[in-house]
Chain A
């Protein structure tokens, strides 16, 4: 193919028309709808195949980001949503390059969600547990007042109904647009987990690609057991910030799940298809033990 026909082809392709040489018979969008290319190994798989799996590459097992709806489907047989009508009040009337309330409207359209977390009661293989799943599609999964409140209310429901708690995190950190209110959600959730901890109930934190900032520094790392999903990146400060501060190149696997495992920051690294069984297994083994030994409060001397 000459350079000229190549350009002609490219132009046709951009217009989505059939080219003279017939190289691009499928429109680009149609192609994207049908096929998914792996970011890791560039293997192409049918979207249908990809979706019926776990959102993983069929060739190399690369874990794509999945949204909260997919995650809940994978983890729960039934899911009862609670507190889905909470909305942000834009307490700072924040405007950067665009007003915060417009960003919220855009995020709702983009993600089909009302906030960056869905909370509710899940039932899996007959086990009931409180489940919160964050969604990176909604403003980078950032934690504002609503996310903090929904998590806190979920913890309160779990306390009330004596359920184990699982939170699947995917977040860029605290939401800057709500300023100090976002920051204080770290305390709100952390303090609520303190009460949960005192009552001796099980909290499993699942950290997925990506979990950073205020989420890592609050409920994300407060799990009795911390599970990192294979291939996810987890940390407090972002990679770019660290590179700028120390003026060094960072190792390629820095802040990945296995890197954190090596440094003792997470209990286990689990592949996505195994997550469901791991959670159910952990919950049932702990609940069994609590049934045998009685509530934690009876074994714990009062704090001096």
Chain B
């Protein structure tokens, strides 16, 4: 679903809290009524303040309810809002004085979709790496809509190594629809670039904190997302595949993206309940774009807290904690097959050995044996 831009209405200019998303339509009605009342009051001089406050209160209550019960695809609309703070916005807010942007992969390219550099947060020098989306079309063309090429991940790796060398904690900011699916990306080994980042990030001897600011889709997000602590903004999503991609594969129709978003359980709240992320950073009512400075403050506080917590630990403990964090994810169930098999073998050892030899014989024919799991 394309990001829904602000409708250029009069009310919109007047108030930042004016509805702008599809799902806010009921609010529009209330908002219009308030406008009408205001006009009426101005024209006739009748005191409408009593009704105004009731209506405003009603609108506020409705908005609060709406935003605490958002559907996944509504959250997607919020995180794809063009005014949502991007990596460079956050960096300049976190560390207004110290910001050295570092460029290039030292191998022929500087990827605009993935930026990084050095900041100082709470008197701690840190390396920040993040995917970078633009606020408008022109910006987005240079940023490739936040979809990095392999060279971007190489740059990230270079900065991670830099942080590792100088003992700087790392902050990664994730907001990407995925790695760029292009010809050159494949030719230059996008898969390898991400894989290498995953492997090497798992071995970093400094604290790594990751914040999913907007959408974190697929390997493109994971290429900078292996961390000791992972946080997500309230409406951010983190998923194995974009809902559109999932719908076009499983439903064979991208218009089922809403259903796919529901099924994928990709919201921050879902991920927290699975124990995959370490916390949720609240957003201002209506989304991060409505109070950028406040949002960046909240991010800064959470990151600083996490870094303070991680910093005293020795490098080995940090590596081990990070390793175990991921080692625990996705514990499979144990089937009863081995029990059944064992008891069958104990009961009828002769038959079991007969079936074993039979399965080896017929293993030649494709799919002929019924689940031959005996040693081949």
Contacts and interface: CB of A to CB of B under 8 A. Distances in A.
Given A86-B332, A89-B333, A255 B186 contact: yes
A191 B196 CA distance: 10
Interface string A72-114: 1100101111001111110110111100000000001001111
A111 B369 CA distance: 10
Contact of B327 (A84, A152, A303): A152
B179 A236 contact: yes
A241 B270 CA distance: 28
Interface residues of B, number: 74
A304 interface: yes
A303 B204 CA distance: 9
B69 interface: no
B183 interface: yes
B205 interface: yes
B205 A303 contact: yes
A210 interface: no
B326 A184 contact: yes
A112 B199 contact: no
Interface stretch (B26-34, B41-49, B359-367): B359-367
B195 A219 contact: yes
B23 interface: no
Interface in A206-229: 213-214, 216-222
A69 B372 contact: yes
A200 to B, nearest CB: 14
A174 B241 contact: yes
A180 B266 contact: yes
Interface residues of A, number: 85
Contacts of B241: 174, 176
Nearest to A113: B371
Nearest to A144: B330
Contacts of B218: 174, 183, 213-214
Given A114-B371, A236-B190, A245-B181, A191 B332 contact: no
Interface string A109-142: 0011110000010000000000000000100000
B111 to A, nearest CB: 16
Contact of B202 (A67, A85, A191): A191
Residue from the set A176, A183, A188, A265 with the largest chain B CB neighbour count within 10 Å? A183
B330 A242 contact: no
A149 B330 contact: yes
Contacts of B327: 152, 188, 191-192
Nearest to A86: B332
A258 interface: no
Nearest to A122: B376
B192 A237 contact: no
A219 B110 CA distance: 26
B250 A217 contact: no
Given A86-B332, A184-B326, A191-B199, A69 B263 contact: no
Interface stretch (B3-11, B98-106, B334-342, B346-354): B334-342
Nearest to B375: A80
Contacts of B198: 186-187, 190-191, 217-218
Residue from the set A87, A114, A184 with the largest chain B CB neighbour count within 10 Å? A184
Contact of A250 (B180, B183, B205, B337): B183
Contact of B333 (A87, A236, A263): A87
A81 B373 CA distance: 7
B373 A84 contact: yes
B191 A236 contact: yes
7 contacts: A87-B334, A88-B332, A180-B271, A186-B198, A186-B219, A220-B195, A235-B191
Given A87-B335, A152-B327, A184-B276, 4 more contacts: A88-B332, A89-B333, A191-B322, A216-B192
Top 7 A-B pairs, shortest CB-CB distance: A145-B330, A237-B181, A216-B191, A191-B202, A190-B198, A96-B250, A217-B219
